[in-house]
A and B are shown apart, each in its own frame.
Chain A
Amino acid sequence: MLINAKGIDHKKLNDMLRGAGNDFIIEECLGQRFIAAGMSDKHIEINGIPGNALGAFLNGADIKVNGNAQDSVGDTMNSGSITICGNVGDAVGYAMRGGSIYVRGNAGYRAGIHMKEYRDRFPVIVIGGKAGSFLGEYQAGGIIIVLGLGVKDDNIVGNFPCTGMHGGKVFIRAAAGKIKFPRQVLSSPSGSEDMSIIEKYVSRFCEKFGYSPSAVMAHPFTTVYPDSANPYRQMYVSN
């Protein structure tokens, strides 16, 4: 079903999406927030700029944006998949606890902040370009992969990556050693076990955006993970 979103507010737009039918194409989207919030079983393709908190609390639906998206994409999502063909704003995958987010371009600050995993729930974010500062801040579970494709800058993850990280893993397509991490996390060249996990998600990324998996994989990766012998504690006060 085709929805022209011009002049429609977010509430009405979501009411239309909750109505009959599972497949939707939204045209002329301009800043409507909370699109597809909490939805399951829907396939939604968006042309234009969706507003903040796209796919918040997403519960199984599949969203594709043929351009850029704004802040807080996939906020607290449970499951489902979000594909962004352009860049994404700040805090993508905020407190995400399941499902996957694929971004072809760059991500803003705080990608994957406080994402977590639980039993069979395992959140995954793949960023094709570079990520802004505070990548994986307070990360508690799941994985974030940053590929830096087409990025000339040496540093594809900005400043202060993995600050407060206490679970999960971050995989960065760059040689270890160049990036500064906090003392409470460890980084090392990705081993074969990690590489097979990376390959699985990179293949999906390549399939979505038309890259060659072997070309993307033919590069050193770095795994970042919390140092369980030296965890974060007493960050603010000694109590």
Chain B
Amino acid sequence: MKREGLVRIPSGCAIASVISTEGNRMSGETIINAMVPMHERSNGLGGGFAAYGIYPEYKDFYALHMFFDDRSARKSCEVFLKENFEIIKSEHIPTLKLSTITDEPVIWRYFVSPLRAGLRELQIDEREFIVRKVIHINSRQPGAYVFSCGKNMGIFKAVGFPEDVGHFYRLEEYEAYSWTAHGRYPTNTPGWWGGAHPFGILDYSVVHNGEISSYDANRRFIEMFGYKCTLKTDTEVIAYIMDYLLRVQGLTLKESADIVAAPFWSTIENMSDRREAELKTFLRTAFSQLLITGPFSVILGFNGGLMALNDRLKLRSMVVGEREDRVYIASEEAAIRAMDPLAENIWAPGGGEPVIVKLKKGA
């Protein structure tokens, strides 16, 4: 099987999300429906979903969703897992056999907690521990790949059209307060299961439509902080950038948006509020290597909310709508109407203008 990076396929994508700000949980059917009218935006080489609030009974444990090439890869990786984690539960992720989804790897999930001894030895907190161990598995454990590692959330992805991927993972049976989705039209790589979106680290997940022209500059910078981009696909680096800015640097969502989609210098010069202009200048300068150029529309999922963001030139489309406690975001209005024909206040955010939606009660 061709892995990411072995072939370059020159060639768009679909993204969608729904969140209940009251934290009301909804089945995956809603978000699957959103992907149907956007079918043409994908080519069957990748689809995926992130769901928040799906594991309330295991909410204190990290849910590792993993792909293994075969049983022996799983067995050897489990040795590593047992050395580092207390495994509370280990099981197959339930799937539905479909003619449209083929060549599936071994798909497994573990609910784990870092071993205290390991945390003491490394003198790091739990979240940093998870990041390091996941990066270790993804770069050093042959045939094993962690594609989701947050608490009370999960990523589900595969090679196929997103509607089929949703049914394959039986997402109708999960209940989440927030869903994001992606339909892939790979532009540079052949489309392997791990390369489908969302990309996740801890509870951050990213779905992306576009192509990052600054990928290598961003990758070189972020890899200085221990991250390893193992998939040679541009979206992966966005997930690590967001983890670095939000968790490691402790910046706000708005500030991180001002870094990755920084306003043009000319826009900063024309700002009437000088303090605002100084802040933007600082962020652009301090994290210049994390400016993401090229067309993108992304939705970042995290425990307790979502952030949608376009590149500053707005070279990809994105539409927002709402009704009652729900907020909808998608590449096309049709996708929002498929989720809720009565959605109101449909608007299109400007380039570089983040749309941040959080649960009223917090995560």
Give A24-60 interface residues, CB cut-off 8 Å to B.
Answer: 30-33, 48-49, 51-52
Contacts of B351 in A (CB 8 A): 109, 133
Q: Mark B331-362, 1 if CB is under 8 A from A, else 0.
A: 01111011000000010101100000000000
What's the minimum C-beta distance from A122 to chain B, rounded to whole angstroms?
28
A30–B348 contact, CB under 8 A?
A: no
Q: Measured between alpha carbons, how far is A87 from B317 in the docked complex, in Å?
A: 14
Contacts of B332 in A (CB 8 A): 31, 49, 51-52, 70-71
A133 to B311, CA, bound (A): 13
- Bound-state Cα–Cα, A108 to B347, Å: 9
Nearest-Cβ distance from residue A53 to partner chain B, whole angstroms = 10
Contact B338–A133 (Cβ < 8 Å): no
Q: Is A132 an interface residue (CB 8 A)?
A: yes
Query: How far is it, in angstroms, between the C-alpha of A112 and the C-alpha of B38 when the chains are bound?
Result: 24
Per-residue contact bits, chain A 139-175, to B (CB 8 Å; 1 contact, 0 not): 0000000000000000000110000000000000000
Total A-B Cβ pairs within 8 A:
56
Q: Does B314 contact A (CB under 8 A)?
A: yes
Judge whether B40 is part of the interface by a CB distance below 8 angstroms.
yes
Q: By the criterion CB–CB under 8 Å, are A109 and B37 in contact?
A: no
Q: Within 8 Å CB of B333, what residues of A?
A: 49, 68, 70, 89
Bound Cα distance A158, B352 (Å): 13
On chain A, the residues within 8 Å of B350 by CB distance are 109, 132-133, 158
Assuming the A-B contacts A31-B332, A48-B337, are A108 and B317 also in contact, with contact meaning beta carbons closer than 8 angstroms in the complex?
A: yes
A90 in the interface, Cβ–Cβ < 8 Å?
A: yes
CB distance from B169 to the nearest CB of A (A): 24
CA distance A30 to B313 in the complex (A): 27
* Complex contact A89–B348 (CB within 8 A): yes
Q: Is the CB of B314 within 8 A of A30?
A: no
Can you list, as one digit per residue, whether each of A179-212 has a CB less than 8 Å from chain B (1) or not (0)? 0100000000000000000000000000000000
Residue of A nearest to B313 (CB): A134
Instruction: Specify which chain A residues have a CB less than 8 angstroms from the CB of B337 in the assembled complex.
Output: 30-31, 48-49
B346 touches A30 (CB 8 A): no
CA distance A180 to B40 in the complex (A): 38
A35 to B346: give the CA distance in the assembly, Å. Answer: 22
**Chain B hits for A71, CB < 8 A:** 317, 332
Task: Say yes or no: B334 contacts A87, CB within 8 Å.
Answer: no
Q: How far is the CB of B347 from chain A (nearest CB, A)?
A: 8
> Inside 8 A of B338's CB, which chain A residues have their CB?
30-31
Instruction: Report which of B267, B270, B334 forms a contact with A51, defined as CB distance below 8 A.
Output: B334
Closest to B319 in A: A89
The size of the chain B interface, using a CB distance under 8 A, is 19
Which residue of chain B has its CB nearest to the CB of A33? B40
Residue of A nearest to B37 (CB): A31
Interchain CB contact (< 8 A) of B317 among A31, A70, A180: A70
> What 0/1 readout, one digit per residue, does chain B (123-139) give for beta carbons within 8 Å of chain A?
00000000000000000
- From DSSP, what is the main secondary structure of chain A's interface residues? loop
User: Is the CB–CB distance between B37 and A30 below 8 Å?
Assistant: yes
Selected contact of B270 from candidates A32, A108, A180, CB within 8 Å: A180
Return chain B residues, CB-CB under 8 Å to A32.
Answer: 37
Which of B267, B319, B346, B348 is in CB contact (< 8 Å) with A132? B348
A49-B334 in contact (CB<8A): yes
* Cα distance A10–B335 in the bound complex, in angstroms: 15
Q: Is the CB of A70 within 8 A of B334?
A: yes
Q: Which of A31, A48, A70, A133 contacts B314 (CB 8 A)?
A: A133
Tell me, in angstroms, the Cα distance from A142 to B317 when the chains sit together: 25
Residues B312-340 near A (CB distance < 8 A): 313-314, 317, 319, 332-335, 337-338
Interface centre among B267, B313, B333, B346 (most CB of A within 10 A): B333
Closest to A10 in B: B40
The answer to whether A89 and B314 have CB atoms under 8 Å apart is no
In the complex, how many angstroms separate the beta carbon of A210 from the nearest chain B beta carbon?
A: 22
Q: How far is the CA of A134 from the CA of B315 in the complex (A)?
A: 11
* Residues 267-305 of chain B, each 1 if its beta carbon lies under 8 Å from chain A, else 0: 100100000000000000000000000000000000000
Complex CA distance for A30 and B348, rounded to whole angstroms:
18
B346 touches A31 (CB 8 A): no
Residue numbers in B under 8 Å from A49 (CB-CB): 332-334, 337
What distance in Å separates the Cβ of A131 from its nearest Cβ neighbour in chain B? 12
Q: Which residues of A contact B267 (CB under 8 A)?
A: 159
For A158, list chain B residues within 8 Å (CB).
Answer: 350
Which residues from chain A contact B37 at a C-beta distance below 8 Å?
Answer: 30-32, 51
| Interface pair A89/B334, CB less than 8 Å apart | no
Interface string of B15-58 (1 = CB under 8 A from A): 00000000000000000000001101000000000000000000
CA distance A116 to B27 in the complex (A): 49
Contact B38 A31 (CB under 8 A): yes
Closest to A180 in B: B270
Q: Which residues of A contact B335 (CB under 8 A)?
A: 31
Within 8 A of B (CB), among A103-144: 108-109, 132-134
Q: Chain A's nearest CB lies how many Å from the CB of B46?
A: 20
With both beta carbons as reference points, the residue of chain B lying nearest to A32 in the complex is identified as B37
Closest CB-CB distance, A58 to chain B, in whole Å?
A: 20
Residue in chain A with minimal CB distance to B310: A109
Complex Cα–Cα for A90 and B297 (A): 13
The 7 residue pairs across chains A and B that have the minimum distance between CB atoms: A31-B334, A31-B37, A49-B334, A109-B314, A30-B37, A30-B334, A49-B333
8 A-B residue pairs with Cβ-Cβ distance under 8 Å, sorted by A, are: A49-B332, A68-B346, A70-B334, A87-B346, A87-B348, A108-B317, A109-B314, A109-B351
